[in-house]
Amino acid sequence: MRIRNIVFIGLGALFGFLLSRSGATTFDYYAGLFLLKDLQLLWVIGVAVVTGLVGVALLQWLAPNSLMQGAPLPFAGKPWKKGLVLGSLLFGLGWGLSAACPGTALAMLGEGKLAPLFTVVGILLGTWFYGWQQDRAARSNLAKSESTQG
């Protein structure tokens, strides 16, 4: 278990380093992207998408087991939920206003920039709110099913 943690920390550090070196942790690149003046960050995102597509296709072809449970990796699609559109719009708005997505915000903090601290706090609050909302919905569904059975 210790070796896995070291490997994951190392991979996270490598990811942060690559984000930093690509310019994804520079606020000016975000402004240039959203103003369509400097598309370097768009190329970084494009390379990441292509790398992810190739990586997932390779994993599906090789069919390896997961490192944590040793079970085959599942590649089933997720079901559509009506809140996805609103959630995506909120995510994009937050990304544009803060000039940081979750990965880059943590990498920016690692570089010693303090402005992304607000983004990280927003991410934590949003995650907490989502969990609270899901828990509330599950309790409501449970109460409804108990009232119809009783």
Predicted confidence (pLDDT) at residue 43 exceeds the cutoff of 70: yes
Q: Give 59-104 pLDDT, tens digit per residue.
A: 999 988 887 788 888 888 888 888 889 888 988 888 888 888 888 8
Mean pLDDT for the stretch of residues 93-117 = 87
Q: Give 8-22 pLDDT, tens digit per residue.
A: 899 999 999 998 998
Q: Would you state the pLDDT for residue 100?
A: 84
Q: Rounded CA gap, 33 and 131, in Å?
A: 32
Q: Give how far Cα 148 sits from Cα of 140, 143, 145, Å.
A: 12, 9, 5
Q: Give how far Cα 115 sits from Cα of 27, 76, 94, Å.
A: 10, 37, 14
